[in-house]
Amino acid sequence: MKRHIITILLNLLVLTSMKGQHCVRFELPNQEQLSSERVLQVLQDAEGFLWYATEGGGVCRDDGRQMVVFRSDAEHPDLLGSNDVACLAEAAGRYILIGTFHGAYVLDKQDYAIRRLMEVDDKRVDDIIVTANGHWWMTANKKVYEYADDGRLLKRYPTGDKYLARLHEDRQGRIWASQWDGGLIKLDGEKFVPAPWPLDAAPTAIDDDSLTNALLIGTIGKGVVRYQPESGTIELTEPKDSICMSRVTLDLQGRCLVADGQGNCFVLSGSGEQRSWFEGVIFTRNIADSVRTARNLSTRPTAIAVSEAGDLWFSTGKDIRLMRQGEETVVLSDTKDVSAMTFTEDGTLWLATIFGTVMTYKDGQLAIDEYASNEYGDAVTHLEVDSRGRLLLVSDRYVRLYDPVRHTLRQQSREAAGVYSIELEETTSGNRWSQPQADPVVERMPQWVWWILAALFLMLSALIGYIWFLRGQRKRFLAVMTKEVTVQEQPADSPPADEQPDFSDEWLQSAIAQVEAHLSEETYSVEQLSSDLCMSRMTFYRKIQSATGQKPTEFMRTIRLRRAAELLHEGRLTISEISVDTGFSSVSYFSRCFRTMYGVPPTQFGKATTADDRLPSENPN
């Protein structure tokens, strides 16, 4: 449990490559594509690709265009022993060494195959380094493993009963390791031995001092200390040129790639701008304790700002105090719950509270800015000023950009759906903070689109009309086929004689006569019928479809069923004999077709029922 708590805390590490310079923060690109919000390390390889060690999301590689993720899932359950990746390192420009919460792995960039280092087993790997001779060193629980540059295990070093945190190789080639429970060890010959450590604070990150042969060691609660390897003496340092972070690596330009363990990834670069060491970093309790120790404050601050003169202004939660030349004085005695502070170029001190109130202090006067304050009482967690004097106010729900001269306010919700971004730093002086808002534009459709739509409408109307015409023809034909032939009296519900359709075409009467002449022949087909009528099959198909609305097979089946109904009315033959006489292949098929056309099976048709007394179906299939 203690190891997890310490991992979450931000550790202090001096940026030795930027000694004497102030740090400027740049956001890394494509972070919204990461598979997890918690990033524990960022690494740039020899090809320029960015690699992210994430907690829960595996390893992510950003090539500038897309994010590729290496993790275990349903399709690749054994790719990594754990998707919680604690550390990364590059070896020989070819391998990416991966330390997870359950084992260590090697990714070969030539084919992107991943293999497991079996010697580490299922242990948690907290740090991996590659030394000057190309060997791989890694911590796993209470042991240090040394591998050759080809991945062969050379030696396994026991280190005692304490878990290890970080590894470091100094300029003399000595290997150092820090312990979670407070302690420092070094490699002496063939084993690790304890090194003198007089502080009661646990050492975390280790780096070389750029000016001396000493080591700079980040601690929990004591800031950054300068450690003399030979004597074991410690000197407390002023952390004004340091930054809070969990782990750093250098990119190809020598800038620091930072992952603070809380989901923030960024680049730190040297700049001539006068910026305090904590600007751009989320103010946490750990940072507050480090500032309190380094500046010898009487209490832990809740917010800090540095004036142009270098004086430290801070809030205790109850009042505002000034630390100048080692003397602490109360400036505003009754200013409670201040959560963020910053100075503008004109020397105005801006203050924000956990209740959303924004105030200004200048020339001894404290005033509330009604425009910048919010009426919802949302706590302001961070304040920033751009080169044009505009104020950036950050809360949990939104980010506001406030111009104190024009009293204009822009707001971007942090809960809104969709894709949006806010630049916390300006790349060019005077540029806008957020991406330009897209204004809705209504365009008229081109005229040719309307012509196409009109043509499609006319074609659809013609098709519907043709289908309607065929249905009418079909109904008229069925009416003719069911016209009374055995009963002279016309049914009462029949249409008047002058409304009866006229099917006196000679070819249609010939077609009906031909089907009736071959009624009992089961094999009599459409091809034979069209041949008997001296026309091609396609011509006959078109003519019978136009005249009756039926396909030729339906036309022939309708004539056969009409004759079957007449025979059933006479009652002289059985159903089996009728199905044979009307050319059906089986009694079951005949019964199915008859019921489809007349609505009742042949057995229930009845002697008193004629073929005209029932309206046939439109699809006697």
**Final residue in a domain of this structure, among 295, 323, 345:** 295
Specify the range with the lowest mean pLDDT, choosing from 17-21, 224-228, 336-340. Answer: 17-21
- Least-confidence region, from 84-88, 150-154, 491-495: 491-495
Residue 541 sits in the same domain as residue 416: no
Lowest mean pLDDT among 95-104, 158-167, 356-365, 486-495: 486-495
Interatomic CA distance for residues 562 and 610, integer angstroms: 10
19 shares a domain with 121: yes
DSSP letters of 468-529? HHHHHHHHHHHHHHTS-SS--SPPTTSPPGGGS-----HHHHHHHHHHHHTTT-TT--HHHH
In a domain, 527, yes or no: yes
What distance in Å separates the CA atoms of residue 251 and residue 562, rounded to the nearest whole number? 92
Residues 301, 281, single domain; the answer is: no
**Which pLDDT score, from 0 to 100, does residue 608 have?**
45
Looking at per-residue pLDDT, the higher value among 448 and 146 belongs to 146
Whether 437 is covered by a domain: the verdict is no
Same domain for 370 and 415, yes or no, is yes
Number of other residues whose CB lies within 10 A of the CB of residue 613: 16
Place of tokens 């924000």: 352
Q: Are 353 and 360 in contact (CB under 8 A)?
A: no
For 565, the domain range is 456-604
Coil vs helix vs strand at 576: helix
pLDDT at 200: 79
On whether residue 610 sits in a domain, the answer given is: no
Domain end call among 273, 295, 317: 295
- In order of 159, 160, 166, 239, 246, the CA distances from 163 in angstroms are 8, 8, 10, 27, 17
Please report, for the domain that includes residue 378, its CATH number: 2.130.10.10
290 in the same domain as 398: no
> Which tens digits make up the pLDDT trace of 497-538?
333 334 446 778 888 888 888 888 888 888 888 888 888 888
For the segment 412-438, the average pLDDT, to the nearest whole number, is: 45
CATH code for position 540: 1.10.10.60
Question: Are residues 466 and 397 both part of a single domain?
Answer: no
**What is the C-alpha to C-alpha distance for residues 168 and 176, in angstroms, rounded to an integer?**
5
Contact partners, residue 506, CB within 8 Å, separation at least 6 = none
Residues 6+ apart with CB under 8 A from 412: 398, 399, 400, 420, 422, 434
Q: Which two tokens stand for residue 337?
A: 């719950």
Residues 381 and 409 in one domain: yes
Are 11 and 144 in the same domain? yes
Assigned domain for 338 exists: yes
Whether residue 441 is contained in a domain is answered as no
Task: Give the integer Cα–Cα distance in Å for 166 and 193.
Answer: 15
Chain-centroid distance of CA 284 in Å reads 29
Q: Which of 325-329, 393-397, 525-529 has the lowest mean pLDDT?
A: 393-397
The residues, any chain, with a CB within 8 Å of residue 95's CB and separated by 6 or more, are: 106, 107, 108, 109, 151
Residues 113 and 140 in one domain: yes
Whether residues 213 and 317 share a domain: the answer is no
* Any domain includes 180: yes
- Structural tokens at position 549: 């609305």
From residue 331, alpha-carbon distances to 293, 313, 348, 380, 479 in Å are 21, 9, 14, 22, 106
- Residue 438 located in a structural domain: no
300 and 275 in a common domain: no
Comparing 469 with 41, which gets the higher pLDDT?
41
Q: What CA–CA distance (Å, rounded) separates 615 from 525? A: 26
| Domain count for the chain | 3
Q: What is the pLDDT of residues 5-20, one digit of tens each?
A: 333 333 433 333 333 3
Nearest to 58 by CA among 89, 75, 74, 36: 36
Query: 164 and 180 in contact (C-beta within 8 Å)?
Result: yes
Domain annotation covers residue 395 = yes
Same domain for 512 and 395:
no
576 pLDDT band (50/70/90 cuts)? confident
Domain end, chosen from 275, 295, 315, is at 295
